[in-house]
Structure 1
Amino acid sequence: MNTIIQIIVAGSLFFGLAVHAAGVNGTIQFQGDTVHMELSGQQSWDYDVKRLDRKGKPVVQMSVPAMDEATIQKLNSFKSEFVTGVSVDQKGPDGKHIISFSLANEGIDSFDYLTDQPSRLIIDFYVNPSSKAAPVAKKEDKSETLPTKLPAKVSKPVVKEQTDKVAKGRKPATADSLVIANNGVSVAMNDGPARSGIFDGGDPDYDRFAIKDYEIKEEAMIRARDNYYIPFPMMESPMTYWDKMKVTPSIYEISPQASEENKQARLLLTLFEKQRYSVFLKTQKWFKEKYPKSEYNEIIDFMTADVHLALWQSEKRIASYEEAMQLYKEAVEKYPKSPLAERTSLKIGYYTLERGDFLGALRAFNEHIENKNFPDNNSISKDMARIGSGLAFMKLNRSVEAVEQFDNVEKNSTNRDLKVEASFRKGDVWFRSKNYPKAVESYEASLKKYPEAQGTYPNAYYNQAESLFLMGKYNKSLDVYRDFIKKFPSDENAAYAMTRVGELLDIFGADTSRVMGAYLETYFRYGESPNAVIARLRLLSARMTAMKPKEVRSAVEEIMSLAKKVDLPNIEQFATVMVADGYTRRKEYQKSIDLLSKYYKENPTSVDVPLMTNRIVSNINDKLESEVESGNFIQSLRTHSQYADTWLKNSKRLDTKYYVGRSFELGGAPNEAEKYYKDVLNRTYAIRGTPEAKEIQVKEQTPGEDELNLRLAAVFTQEQKYNQAYEHLKNIKTPEKLPDHAQIERVNIAVKLLEKRGDNESAIRYLGELLRTWKGQPELVAEPYLKLAELQLKQGRFPEAIQALEMVDQLQTDSGKVAPAVHAKALESLGETLLSKGEDDKAIAAFEKLLEKYEETRPLSSIRYKLGQIYFKRGESKKAAEAWSDFKGDKSEFWKNLAQEQLKNSSWRDDYKKYIKRIPAMSENEQGK
């Protein structure tokens, strides 16, 4: 994408908090291919952007905080090819201004964004290259055209070399032109069009991509070692002189004469100029047969070779290329003094180099250098041949010989441009041979020695930055990449550079919004370029997390489709990893495992084995963790069994063993869990304080020593090995750093051990101390309060026990997060205790609350019977009957029958009392019964 933008700060593009401040000011201007408006004066921005259609014309309407008068005047007076007009409406009731941008056509898009340092609101307008709308009219190109031919002045076809010299240090302004005519050869050069650039007025130094030392996270850098960074191609700067030679054709002229031979020769020239190559070749054959010793043979032989070269370039037939090279060689040998000979000899070498015949190119360049017909050993052409030889040696991975050639040119050439080029090429040699330290050293030396060439050789920055990246010198790599993007924003490799910047920010542990911002900006700037595909793949992979299933399928298809458009090594593998990482972020671990396993099996010889294996094992462990955390220990054991003899067979990950042990513990197999926990803890002790321990801590989900000791204490308690449980409990050095739930579990285990020792008093003190100082989640202390109450009841401390049980109920009321089993047990115990103390009303309230909340899910028929019995003993038969009329559950029959029996007996006694009151002889004592 050739669109120019200014700055993108990743993250939310819209902020909901309106902060109105006076003095919002800004500018609007046309920069390169973009209309850029920038507002400042607010820390937080409340704005809105809409695209409207007004009378068939597109309009972008933007609502912004109130602006000052100077800014309004600038906007109202602005016009450009993209934005044909701007108007600002008066402030509305909310104190805002409405800016309306009238656009040239539907092909103009806008992009709005915010920056934070400094705080700015920005909107850019640009031509969307993929739009079907008519493009905006371009300004007429008034650049100088290249000359195609020079007039002949002499009648005889004499060939001689022009000796005009160019002033030292001056770069000629026109294109190379080589003319064979009666007036000899003339040569000139042209640098071609200047590079177009993308310069960010808001952040010209790309500080948004910088990172300070204190922002770098060691954990992120360790984690990044398992990330996949696809190698980007080496950047080779073009051979400037050779590129000029290629695009500059030889121009032939034959002065008219009255002879038939001259007429036929001019016919051949006409056919050549009009590119009637087939007719030219037939006519040339006839001409050579009729005039074997023609004075025009030199021109015709070179033209014939040019014809075959042109046919190869247009038709890509290798036979035409081979014929052209052969004819060039024959022409050089036949006309060694021709002004075309030296140029053609060099041309043979470079075309051979471009064809990939590096040995053939070396031979051609060597013949050129040793050709005595080109006597000046330090001529430009021989220096160019040495540079060509250096390039051929580099392609053959013969680094020492390549550098020797470049050293020769740099030391001995009289042409400074070639000296500079040779110097910068040496860095390329070391980069290609993967000697990255030497590459960096060489590029730095060249930039220091030839500062005037800093804007000419982007490879010195790009390859140097990539070398530093591959060396793991990420800080310096980021700085050099930023320099490259700043100096060469329009270079085709800038998309790679900006992608790498995003990856470096990720390595450093920068906020995700900054990382995604770098990828987003890459795609926005260079979206139409294949070099921006890697950034797009990373964006899609990261966004899979929040996608719906249908969107995920589309994203996966897009990732795999985009990968096919890029010619990079292992791009299919990279795309597969990106999709798998997306599934992992979505916690769809099985899909990730299956995808990676399938790719591994289908590409056994080309796959990056450590990369794939580590990712598959990591996903298996993530799956184990997920299953254990959800309490699905049976499935976690199945998962481990499924991969134990394949992907996990040679794995040394400690978290695998830990989760298997946890599964056994949850499954009620403490003996098996003990084995795994011990293995993990012993290994953790063995590597304590080593870099390996730090890496495991960051990259695996293995708990620390304290948590492992807690787990062993728990399983030993289950096994009734109380002494061993106590020892592991003592080994917990920093209990306050344990997760909240683990701290509570530790207390519960300690209390249980004290109980087994018969030391209830110490257990009560232990619980009491915890509950007095606890600062964690209130709902987690419900179980300790329940345990405290149980201990207090054993000691007959009823008021304190009642207070603890009421606290459990209060915690549930406040948080709603107390475990149902704990809350139900507390209410039951509270009711029983209150009943035993004769506080029937409070007991009734506790039992009724218990039944209301949990009778549908728990077997509480005995509690319902007990509630009715309280009423029955108090003589409230009706309330007893109501309580006993609502038993629930299949197992309530016994209690229901017992209650009915009580009610029947009660009914008989009531009838009997009415009867015996009529019998006078009945004693008062008997009546009272």
Structure 2
Amino acid sequence: MNALRNVLVAGCLIFSLVPALAASVNGAISFQGDTVHLELSGQQNWDYDVKRSESKGKTVVEMTVPALDDSTVQALNNFKSEMVTQVSVDRKGPDGKYLVYFTLSGASIDTFDYLTDQPSRLIVDFYVNPSAKADKKSVAKKEPTTKADSAKSSKALAKNKTDKTRTPATADALAIADQGAAVALNDSAAQRGIFDGGDPNYERFTIKPYDIKEESVIRAKDNYYIPFPMLETPVSYWEKLKNTPTIYEISPKPTDENKQARLLLTLFEKQRYAVYLKTVQWFKEKYPTSQYNEVIDFMTADVHLALSQGAEHAKSYEDAIQKYKEAIAKYPQSPLAERTSLKIGYLALERGDNLAALRLFNEHIANKNFGGKESLSKDLARMGSGLAYMRLNRWEDAVAQYEDIEKNSIHRDLKVEAAYRRGDVWIKAKNYAKATSEYQNALKKYPEGQTFFPNAYYNQAESLFGMQKYPQSLDLYREFVKKFPSSEHAPFAMTRMGELLEILGADKSRVMGAYLETYFRYGENPSAVISRLRLLSTRMKGMKPKETDNAVKEIMSLAKKVDLPNIEQFATVMVADGYTQRGEFDKSISLLSKYYKEHPTSVDIPLMTQRIVTNINNKLEDQVNDGNFIGALKTHNQYSDSWLKNSKRLDTKFNVGRAFEMAGVPIESEKYYKDVLNRVYAIRGTPEAKEISVKERVPTEDELNLRLAAVSTNEQKYNQAYEYLKNVKTPEKLSELEQIERVNIAVRLLERRGDNESAIRYLGELLRTWKGQPELVAEPYLKLAELQIKQGKKDEALQALGMIDKLSKDSDHVSPVVHAKALESMGDIYLAKNSKDQAIDAYQTLLEKYEQTRPLSSIRYKLGQIYFKRGDMQLAAETWNEFKGEKSGFWKNLAQEQLKNSEWRDGYKKYIKRIPAMSEKESK
């Protein structure tokens, strides 16, 4: 329920997408090595508290956490260990939270709590703090070291493979002379730029400042850019230490003990580990105080560590660490102790056990047997501590370790490395400004390190990307790829360069070229998959349906090969964007909504909501543009109480207003238009207005005033319509159709006022200055003619009507309705002027072009009557015999009566002439 409530408060989920949930926090508690580990999950944002107190001689840790599920409560109540002797849960904590009480075995038990991001977890560890004063109940026991062991330890020998005459390996690894930063890497591939004869400086990935498009940068804010992992370079000395294994040596002696010890050494060197472990057990039983025990103990720990590499020997790692610790404690003066102490710290670090690593490094630094403060191994331990603190999200502590090394170390290469690592801490903390500053300072202060620390370029570029400093980020990514083409992060860098080119407004072909090159160079490398996903998404627009289905399957399949946070969400968005580009808005909406419902606690709510609303708006706009206002209103009704409820998109409201206007509901459309216009006025001149104009197809103030004038006219609110029309300040910027509509509304309003002269002048001005499509002015010409007819200006009206006829002959796009009315009006005017031949031409043209599609029986009757009155009975009869349509009956009967009367008169003409009255009437 908490997760659902958080979504509702955010205002992005309008209807219930998931069933009500019970207490969602669950967890587990266990004893791991020398740590009691509590891990809780089920919350995105954690609200908790940890307090330590002393009660009745006992140390108790009180923890306040969100409500736990029943299985977790039961597991906690049943847990006991040497460190945490009792756990109890109180369900009646403040604000519905639970109180968990941990009773500790003594004051030496310390706690460490921290959070992880991916996935979101709350973790609390209980461990023995070696610096705390141990009491009688302390579980920490130090194994005693006998004098005999100490004495014999000096007889143990070890050496390095590289030089058989040198002292033991521990000393070899740690007593390295100051060689500068060049010690860090010895990979020539990492030091050279990739050779590209056609473009060695990667100019294809640059963009000039004057080519950057502000609109593209604004539009990019709604794009989805998956976070790439930071580049963390390995500790150079530790890598050298790992790759320089210890070589053990036992000098031959003529004793059975010596022979058996050398047998163990042979089994170790030939990696016969199973036989070795059985033999060493026998050897220890037979020679419990052997002089070779020091070598054998360290060697046995190495065996367990080697076995731990196999899945079937997972427990061997813990055995190895325990053996190493025992050997260090037993032989503190051994030349192997210092190396091994450092080694187990870094091993813990590599396994992700950061808290254990931190403790081991602190113990190493505190050990007086490993030299003074300036000891190389202690500097390396501080380096490791810095990494552990960073991974535990303790940023200040991590930076303090690196600052200490840079300030106090006598080894310049470590000083350089520490300076370059400080930026890593702040990028991990997502403090991009500090990260950029630290990297820049390191490059300036220690330029010799730039060849060996690619993190200074890659992570700095990613920081600048996070700060939206896109041109600078692009330059640094380009520099990184030039310097470190073999890096595992090079595919990420090239992918990001393609994204940056798109953000900055580069041509689409250059963007696609960057993605193609990434995929071409690095193929199926998981780091190059993001480029492939973007390519497939963009290409979906031009694919056939079957190809689209295959592309969708490939996108989702490739996403499973990549271990990146939110990769499934990214792949879903890429598919949805592909559907959107194809105009398949319903598929996009369905896919995004489904993912939202299935991942309510981890989904990027703004990202998904914005895309769903955009697709709904696109669908609405298409339906309105196609004249499907009923479908548009249905779409709006479908989502009005869900995704659109809190939407502030102005273009969505405008499209709904258009749909209502087309449906003949001016009152509703006026409400939507006014809402949009008021909002446009409110944000005028603000950065928000600029951003909205880029992301949405928002109508201008003139467009909105025109629409309001149109609906007000339809509501017969003529004064209000006139005011809206006056607010159209730049009519020349309206579309051609809108300009014609504006004129028609203005003429209608002027005509309503009786100001025909102004209406004629209005139309005349438009027609004289019109530069657009000629066919669009046909209707204004018709209206002009109607007004001129009312004023008795028949010759001027004939000129306007003649223009319509000419436009129709020159173009097929003049409305048939307008042309038909123009021809009819021309015929009527000519007939009234007794210009019968011109009237006949106009009527005949009208009948020839439109009689099949329009009811023109009255025009046919009128044409026949002209012939009839001329006395051309044959043409009259032929004209009247061509009546068409069921509704022509009245005019057909009227024509037949005329013809019958004409026949009677012809038959009795001689008699009529004898009757003076009739003869006179006939002559008239």
TM-score by length of 2: 0.77
Matched, 1:191 2:186: yes
1:353 maps to amino acid: L
Corresponding residue of 1:522: 518
Q: By how many angstroms is 1:902 displaced? A: 5.0
| Aligned partner (choices 334, 342, 363) of residue 338 of structure 1 | 334
What pairs with 1:355-754 in structure 2 (closer than 5 Å)?
355-754=351-750
Residues 4-41 of structure 1: CA deviation (Å, up to 9, x unaligned): xxxxxxxxxxxxxxxxxxxxxxxxxxxxxxxxxxxxxx
Instruction: Assess, with a 3 A threshold, how the Cα gap between structure 1 residues 333 and 801 changes in structure 2: closer, same or farther.
Output: same
Q: Give the equivalent residue in structure 2 for 1:350.
A: 346
Quote the offset at 1:387 in angstroms: 0.3
* CA 1:551–1:336: 2 relative to 1, 3 Å: same
> How is 1:780-929 mapped onto 2 (pairs within 5 angstroms)?
780-876=776-872, 879-880=875-876, 882-899=878-895, 902=898, 912=907
Aligned equivalent of 2:118: none
Greater CA deviation, 604-613 or 435-444?
Answer: 604-613
Quickly say closer, same or farther: Cα 1:725–1:411, change in 2 above 3 A.
same
**CA distance 1:645–1:150, shift in 2 (3 Å):** closer
How far is 1:688 from its partner?
A: 2.0
Q: Contact 1:785/1:807 (CA < 8 Å) preserved in 2? A: yes
> Residue 236 of structure 2 aligns with which residue?
240
Distance 1:797 1:824 in 2: 21
| TM-aligned CA deviation for residue 606 of structure 1 | 0.9
Contact 2:168 2:335 in 1 (8 A): no
* 8 A Cα contact 2:867 2:873, kept in partner: yes
The code of the aligned residue for 1:209 comes to F
Deviations 1:100-119 (CA, angstroms, capped at 9, x unpaired): xxxxxxxxxxxxxxxxxxxx
Structure 1 residue 350, shift from structure 2 partner = 0.4
Q: Corresponding residue for 1:97?
A: none
Q: Deviations over 1:198-221 (max 9, x none)?
A: 233322332222222322222222
Q: What's the counterpart of residue 257 of structure 2?
A: 261
Report SS of the residue matched to 1:313.
coil
Residues paired across the two proteins, number: 763
Asked whether the equivalents of residues 499 and 519 of structure 1 are also in contact (C-alpha less than 8 Å), the reply is: yes
Q: Are 2:286 and 1:326 aligned? A: no
The residue correspondences of 1:117-136 to structure 2 (distance < 5 A) are none
Once the two structures are superposed, residues 424-459 of structure 1 have per-residue CA deviations (whole angstroms, 9 ceiling, x without a partner) of: 110000110111111000000001111111121111
How far residue 927 of structure 1 moved from its aligned partner, in angstroms, is: 14
1:31 maps to what in 2? none
For residue 247 of structure 2, give the secondary structure of its aligned residue in structure 1. Answer: strand
d(CA) in 2 for partners of 1:879, 1:598: 74
Q: Which residue of 2 aligns with 1:169?
A: 179
Counterpart in the other structure of 2:142 = none
Task: Give distance in 1, aligned partners of 2:904 and 2:258.
Answer: 147
CA distance, structure 2, for counterparts of residue 709 and residue 464 of structure 1:
50
- 1:86-235 map, 5 Å: 149=161, 168-169=178-179, 191-192=186-187, 194-195=189-190, 197-235=193-231
Distance 1:901 1:438 in 2: 101
**Preserved CA contact (<8 Å) 1:234 1:463:** yes
Inter-CA distance 407–622: structure 2 relative to 1 (3 Å threshold): same
Q: TM-score, normalised by structure 1?
A: 0.77
Q: 1:890 to 1:338 in 2, by over 3 A?
A: farther
1:561-605 deviations in whole A, cap 9, x for unaligned?
Answer: 221111111111111112222222222222222221221111111
Q: Which residue of 2 aligns with 1:42?
A: none
Assess if the C-alpha contact under 8 Å between 1:390 and 1:402 holds in 2.
yes
Q: Which secondary structure does the structure 1 equivalent of 2:309 belong to?
A: helix
Per the alignment, do residues 918 and 666 of structure 1 end up closer, same or farther by CA in structure 2, a change over 3 Å counting? Answer: closer
The 3 A distance-change label for structure 1 pair 162 and 853 is: same
CA distance in 1, matches of 2:702, 2:832: 43
Deviation (angstroms), 1:887: 4.4
**Change beyond 3 A, Cα 1:367–1:893:** same
Shift of 1:872: 4.5
- Point out the more displaced range, 714-723 or 854-863: 854-863
What whole-Å deviation, never above 9, does each CA across 1:290-341 have from its counterpart, x for those lacking one?
Answer: 2222232222222211111111113363311101111111122222232222
1:160, 1:338 within 8 Å by CA — same for their partners in 2? no
Q: Percent identity?
A: 70
Q: 1:518 is paired with a residue of what secondary structure?
A: helix
Following superposition, the deviation at residue 476 of structure 1 comes to 1.6
Which structure shows the higher helix fraction? 2
Unaligned runs of 5+ in 2: 1-158
Unaligned runs of 5+ in 1: 1-146, 174-188
Q: Secondary structure at the residue paired with 1:194? A: helix
CA distance in 2, matches of 1:898, 1:459: 98
Question: In 2 relative to 1, CA 504–858 (structure 1 residues): closer, same or farther, beyond 3 Å?
Answer: farther
Shift of 1:908: 6.2
Whichever residue aligns with residue 765 of structure 1, its letter is: R
Deviates more, 1:800-809 or 1:317-326: 800-809
Query: What is the Cα deviation at residue 352 of structure 1?
Result: 0.6
| Kept in 2: contact 1:152–1:253 (CA 8 A) | no
Shift of 1:165: 7.4
- 1:166·1:172 contact (CA, 8 Å) conserved in 2? no
Alpha-carbon distance in structure 2 between the residues aligned to 1:329 and 1:856: 104
Give the AA of the match of 2:186: D
Cα deviation 1:783-808 (Å, max 9, x = unaligned): 11111111122222222222212222
Once residues 279 and 432 of structure 2 are traced to their aligned partners in structure 1, the CA distance between those partners, rounded to angstroms, is 56
Q: C-alpha deviations, 1:348-381, integer Å up to 9, x for none?
A: 0001111111111011111111222211432322
Give the Cα separation in 1 of the matches to 2:187 and 2:920: 130
Task: Determine the C-alpha separation between the residues in 2 that align with 1:379 and 1:335.
Answer: 19
Query: 1:264 touches 1:287 (CA, 8 Å); kept in 2?
Result: yes
CA distance 1:760–1:555, shift in 2 (3 Å): same
Contact 2:264 2:279 in 1 (8 A): yes
The 1-side partners of 2:865 and 2:913 are apart by 34
SS of the residue corresponding to residue 315 of structure 2 reads helix
* Contact residue 820 and residue 846 of structure 2 kept, 8 A: yes
Instruction: Tell me the residue number matched to 2:769.
Output: 773
Q: 1:764 to 1:270 in 2, by over 3 A?
A: same
Shift of residue 882, structure 1, vs aligned partner? 5.0
What is the CA–CA distance in structure 2 between the aligned matches of 1:645 and 1:323, rounded to whole Å? 61
Give me the whole-angstrom Cα distance separating, in 1, the residues matched to 2:226 and 2:711.
Answer: 46
Q: Aligned in 2, Cα 1:191/1:836: closer, same or farther, shift over 3 Å?
A: same
Shift of 1:885: 4.9
2:160–2:246 CA contact under 8 A, matched in 1: no
Report what 1:55 is aligned to: none
Judging changes above 3 Å, is the alpha-carbon distance between structure 1 residues 158 and 234 closer, same or farther for their aligned structure 2 residues?
closer
1:20 — aligned with what? none
Residue of structure 2 in register with 1:6 after alignment: none
Question: What amino acid sits opposite 2:506 in the alignment?
Answer: A
**Compared CA separation, residues 289 and 774, structure 1 to 2 (3 A):** same
Question: Is the contact made by 2:653 and 2:676 (CA closer than 8 Å) also made in structure 1?
Answer: yes
Distance 2:912 2:716 in 1: 69
1:222 maps to amino acid: I
Output one character per residue of 1:665-708: Cα deviation in whole Å (capped at 9) or x when no partner.
Answer: 21112222222222222222222222222222222222111111
In 2, Cα distance between the equivalents of 1:301 and 1:545?
A: 66
On the 8 A contact 1:710/1:746 being kept in 2, the answer is yes
Deviates more, 1:381-390 or 1:663-672: 663-672
